[in-house]
Amino acid sequence: MQIKFISVMVEDQDSALHFYTSVLGFEKMADIPMGEFRWLTVCSPDGLAGVELVLEPTGFPPARTYQKVLFEAGTPATAFITKDIAAEVQRLKARGVKFRGSLRIWGSSRPLSSRTPVEISSISSNRRPNPSIKPTPAGTAQLQR
C-alpha cells in the first residue's frame, strides 16, 4: 500500500496554487473542474514520484474550523523535508515569504545536529494567510495553512 494523495486545506485554490508553484517551487499535476471547486494537486520536484498534495478548498464549514483551530494552536498540518533548512529559509525569504518567528534551537546550546530541533513559527506569502513552518536542522519542515 502506498500514499498517493495528501490534502491540505486552503481558503482560495488560485492563491494556494500560486503559493505552492511560484513560491515553494512545486509543480501542478492536476487541475480538474468539479462544480464550484477543482481537483487541484501539486507535487514537489524533489519528492517521491507519484505523491501529490491536494489543495483542498475550505468550502465545507467544519474544514474552515479545523484549519483555524490548527493554525491558532500552532499545530502543523503538513510536513516537508529539505536538505538545508537555512538555505531554504533564505530562498523563501527572497520570494517574499514572511516569518512570524526566527530560527531557534530547542534544548541544549550544543552545535546543531540531526537530533537538535529547530523551530520557525510561521511563514506567509503576500497572497496567502500566514502558514506555519517548524523545521529541524536536518531539514524536516512542517507547514500549516
Write down the domain spans for the chain.
5-144
- Kindly state the DSSP code that residue 52 receives in the 8-state scheme: E
Against a cut of 0.75, is the pTM above it?
Answer: no
DSSP secondary structure string, 14-31? HHHHHIIIIIS--EEEEE
pLDDT tens-digit series, residues 42-56: 999 988 888 999 999
Domain 5-144 architecture = Roll (3.10)
Evaluate whether 92 touches 123 at the Cβ level (below 8 Å): yes
Q: What residue ranges of the chain have pLDDT lower than 50?
A: 107-145
Question: Quick one: cell of 82?
Answer: 529539505
**Which H or E run contains 13?**
helix 13-18
